[in-house]
Amino acid sequence: MNGFLTDTRIKELAAQHGTPLLVLDCNVLKRQVEQLRKALPGVDFFYAVKAFPHPDIINTMDQCGVGFDLASSGEIELVRQFYINPRNTIHTHPIKKNRDIRDSLRFGCTTFVVDNGEEMKKFYPYQNRVGLLLRVSFPNPDAIVDLSRKFGCSPDEAIELLEMAKQMGMHVKGLSFHVGSQSRNSNMHVTAIRRCREILNDYNRHAEIPMSMLDIGGGFPVNYCDTMPDIDTFCAPITEALRDLGEDLHIIAEPGRFLVAPAAISITAVTGKAARGGRNWYYLDDGVYGAYSGQIFDHARYPIRCLKAGPASPSVLAGPTCDSIDIISEEIQLPELEIGDLVIGEMMGAYTVSTATDFNSLSRCEIIVLNKPEAADKIPHIA
Ligand SMILES: Cc1ncc(COP(=O)(O)O)c(C=O)c1O
């Protein structure tokens, strides 16, 4: 057994539902929440819905007391359907259409991230109803996925923007940053916390309404094929740096990957095989236009295995579309596989099906959910 399913159970699920499948286990989500809570005591989490926007994940996170980081009207619609309390949500997209702002306010989410003056002006008509978080940029060479090129003001610009907000009568609740996703170490988190502390102290010294929140973003890593520090080791320096901020500041984070990546596996089947260039090529019924899209967009390399033993040789795993980019692995050691054999991708919960396409009009993988949360007795929240 590897991951959360035995090989026998994997075969049963494939026989019962067909392939391709993505199997999601909600108990693993709960375990991940607990682990991150233990590693970051005192930090409130807002699950980054974009990582895997699935109803059972929304309900599980809600039952665990986790809030939601929303970045589009579609994500708002999803959490609205499950009666999520809008007070437990924040809107984190730094660039919004006016329509996005209105949708968010109609839902009841009133905390918004901004990173420039033009964006701040969009909130002028709603100044009495919103609290802003100013996103500060901290480029991080140790993050696999860069999130600082497109968003965030420099720490030096922050003071100017805070001044501008004050002149406009806008309420800036605090600062936010995201040092990039799948970070190899927490050095940049620590640097960002220290720099934000200086900005908060400078501003709050003379502010009528002091800033009271720091959002430390995401970036908490998981192990794919590369080895990352375990979450306790990764978070210890962050916890230490947060200790210096004092107790009055509300610290929040927007984890995505760490909460959902280990909670799903992909089950695909070999649909064809060929010998090309001295290698066995195996054609699977899912690929980089589907659940393996994270290999393109998220720069991830998932641990892949088959359920067979035997002498291994260098092989190629290709997806089902007509495009040559649709290759999952050019260099993988596999025993001889036959049509119908199963190939398993582990750690496939984050940024996988959420970026899948319908290219070639191929159906997306079916999602099977294990240990679904009980349907909670929820009543709609009136904004
Ligand atoms: C604004 C924002 N918050 C949170 C996240 C989640 O980050 P991670 O999956 O690294 O935890 C992302 C990822 O793209 C993001 O853009």
pLDDT tens digits for 95-144?
999 999 999 999 999 999 999 999 999 999 999 999 999 999 999 999 99
Question: Which of 147, 177, 347 gets mutated to test ligand 1 (max ligand atoms within 8 A of its CB)?
Answer: 147
- Please give the angle made by the CA atoms of 217, 93 and 194, to the nearest 5 degrees: 30
Checking if the pLDDT of 383 tops 80, the result is no
Count Cα atoms within 13 angstroms, Cβ side, for 52.
Answer: 34
Q: Is the CB of 48 under 6 A from ligand 1?
A: yes
Token digits of residue 127:
């100044």
Third-level CATH fold of 27-260: TIM Barrel (3.20.20)
For residue 189, name the pLDDT band (cuts at 50, 70, 90): very high
| Tokens encoding 298 | 């998220």
Cα 227 to ligand 1 centroid, rounded to whole Å: 20
Integer angstrom CA distances of residue 201 from 7, 42, 66, 189, 238: 55, 20, 28, 18, 19
Structure confidence by residue, pLDDT tens digits, 191-247: 999 999 999 999 999 999 999 999 999 999 999 998 899 999 999 999 999 999 988
- Tokens 């997306």 belong to 364
- pLDDT tens-digit readout, 246-299: 888 999 999 999 999 999 999 999 999 999 999 999 999 999 999 999 999 999
Nearest to 132 by CA among 22, 215, 227, 21: 215
**134 closest CA partner among 82, 182, 94:** 94
In the chain, which segments carry CATH 2.40.37.10? 262-370
CA-CA distance, 362 to 373, in Å (whole number)?
30
Nearest CA to ligand 1 atom 7: 218
92-97's contacts with Cβ under 8 Å and 24+ in sequence apart are 92/46, 92/48, 92/133, 92/176, 92/215, 92/254, 94/119, 94/135, 94/151, 94/152, 95/119, 95/151, 96/122
Q: Which pLDDT belongs to residue 2? A: 53
> Does the structure show a pLDDT above 90 at 376?
no
pLDDT band with cut points at 50, 70 and 90 for residue 3:
confident
Q: Determine the number of helices (DSSP H) and then strands (DSSP E) in the chain.
A: 11, 18
Torsional class of 152: left (φ above 0), alpha (ψ -120 to 50), beta (otherwise): left
Contact at 8 Å (CB) between 52 and 294?
Answer: no
Average pLDDT estimate for 158-175: 96
Among the listed residues 355, 349, 350, the one whose alpha carbon sits nearest the alpha carbon of residue 369? 349
Which among 89, 140, 254 is the best mutation to test ligand 1's pocket, defined by most ligand atoms within 8 Å of the CB? 254
Average pLDDT of the chain? 96
pLDDT digits (tens, 9 = 90+) for 73-92: 999 999 999 999 999 999 99
User: Is the CB of 254 within 6 Å of ligand 1?
Assistant: yes
Q: Where are the alpha helices (DSSP H) in the chain?
A: 7-17, 26-39, 55-63, 73-81, 98-107, 117-121, 155-168, 187-206, 231-243, 257-260, 294-297
Query: DSSP label at 110?
Result: -
Query: In the structure encoding, which two tokens stand for residue 48, read together?
Result: 């980054």
Look at residues 224, 222, 317 and name the one whose alpha carbon lies nearest to residue 276. Answer: 317
377 band by pLDDT with thresholds 50, 70 and 90: low
Per-residue confidence (pLDDT) for residue 156, from 0 to 100: 96
In whole angstroms, give the CA distance from residue 189 to residue 124: 31
| CATH 3.20.20.10 domain position(s) in the chain | 27-260
Q: Is the pLDDT of residue 16 over 80?
A: yes
Distance CA 193, CA 199 (A): 10
Per-residue pLDDT at 382:
58
- Paired strand residues for 368: 23
In the structure, what pLDDT confidence band is assigned to residue 381 with cuts at 50, 70 and 90? low
Residue 51 CA, ligand 1 centroid: distance in Å: 8
Q: How many angstroms separate the CA atoms of 220 and 179, rounded?
A: 10
Ligand 1 atom with the shortest distance to the CA of 219: 10
Structure confidence at residue 107 (pLDDT)? 98
Please, are residues 258 and 12 in contact by the beta-carbon 8 Å criterion? no
Which atom of ligand 1 lies closest to the CA of 254? 4
Token reading at 64 = 């665990």
Catalytic: which of 64, 109, 153, 322? 322
Pick the CATH number of 262-370 from 3.30.70.100, 2.40.37.10, 2.40.40.20, 2.60.40.420: 2.40.37.10
Pair 369, 24: CB distance under 8 Å: yes
Return the closest-CA partner of residue 265 out of 343, 319, 200, 341. 343
pLDDT band, residue 152 (cuts 50/70/90): very high
Please give the single-letter amino acid code of residue 182. Q
322 is catalytic: yes
Residues above pLDDT 90, as percent of the chain: 94
Of residues 374 and 215, more confidence is placed in 215
